[in-house]
Structure 1
Amino acid sequence: MNSLLFKNWKLVLIAVCFVLIVGAWQYDHAAQYKRGRESMAVEISGRLKVAAIEKAKSDQVISEKYQTGKAVREENERVRYVQVQKIVEKPVYRNVCVDSDGLSVINAAIADGN
């Protein structure tokens, strides 16, 4: 066996060099893949961070608009409730359930709802 290796030492040397070159090439490609994967992961996480910040800002603006509208609606409801209480406390001697004041409050509530 040793004599066969010594006889064809050039062929063995070429085969070893070929194996070393292929191994180095594969190692380099694996390292490039890892570097590319890490850089893309950083880029993607940066994009997700920016998107999350923008989403939080837009959610805050929407929430502020909703809270403002809700406060206005609640105040209008309080005013209607007080007006209805005042109208209900008035004595009504006719066979009509709602007088003109109550009808105007109801019409205003309908107009605000549309």
Structure 2
Amino acid sequence: MPIILAFIKAFWKPILVITTIIVLILSARIYASRQYDAGVNDATATFQEKLNKLNADQQKQMAEASKRYQEQKTIRDKNQEIQYVEVEKIVQQPVYLTDCIDADGLREINSAAASK
């Protein structure tokens, strides 16, 4: 122990300078690290805000597209219903008038078509 005290007494000024330099370097590194982390956090927050805005815009566009699709689907379904009603009323006369079917079959088909 007396050797360490003698060493410190002999070189106290260089030890103080080296210790001060080490403390200053460590302080500067800690400060720079905190500044870097703050910058990263700010950039992340800004980027997240932009992503949220883009996401909201995209959701809005998707909702509008879905609304247009539903409107077009409603119109298309309505037109199909009208077509189905019109198609049912077309057959009103006997259809088979050839010799391919015997007389009894032709009579049954004509009576079925006439009864509608």
Which range, TM-score by smaller chain? 0.7 to 0.9
Partner of 1:82: 85
User: Which residue of the other structure, out of 46, 52, 58, is the alignment partner of 1:43?
Assistant: 46
Is 1:23 aligned to 2:47, yes or no? no
Please provide the CA RMSD for this pair: 1.4
| Deviation digits for residues 47-103 of structure 1 (CA, Å, limit 9, x no counterpart) | 011001100111111111111111111011101111111124x233356xxxxxxxx
Is 1:93 aligned to 2:95, yes or no? yes
The CA distance in 1 between the partners of 2:60 and 2:14, in whole Å, is: 69
TM-score (normalizing by structure 1):
0.76
Name the aligned partner's letter for residue 10 of structure 1.
K
The CA distance in 2 between the partners of 1:8 and 1:36, in whole Å, is: 42
Name the aligned partner's letter for residue 8 of structure 1.
F
TM-score (normalizing by structure 2):
0.75
Q: Secondary structure at the match of 2:90?
A: helix
Higher Rg of the two aligned structures? 2
Check 1:64–1:51 CA distance in 2 against 1; reply closer, same or farther (3 A cut): same
* 5+ residue gaps, structure 1: 96-114
Question: How high is the sequence identity, in percent, across the aligned residues?
Answer: 21
Q: Secondary structure at the match of 1:14?
A: helix
Matches within 5 A, 1:54-65: 54-65=57-68
* 5+ residue gaps, structure 2: 98-116
The CA distance in 2 between the partners of 1:63 and 1:11, in whole Å, is: 76
Name the aligned partner's letter for residue 92 of structure 1.
P
Q: Secondary structure at the match of 1:87?
A: coil
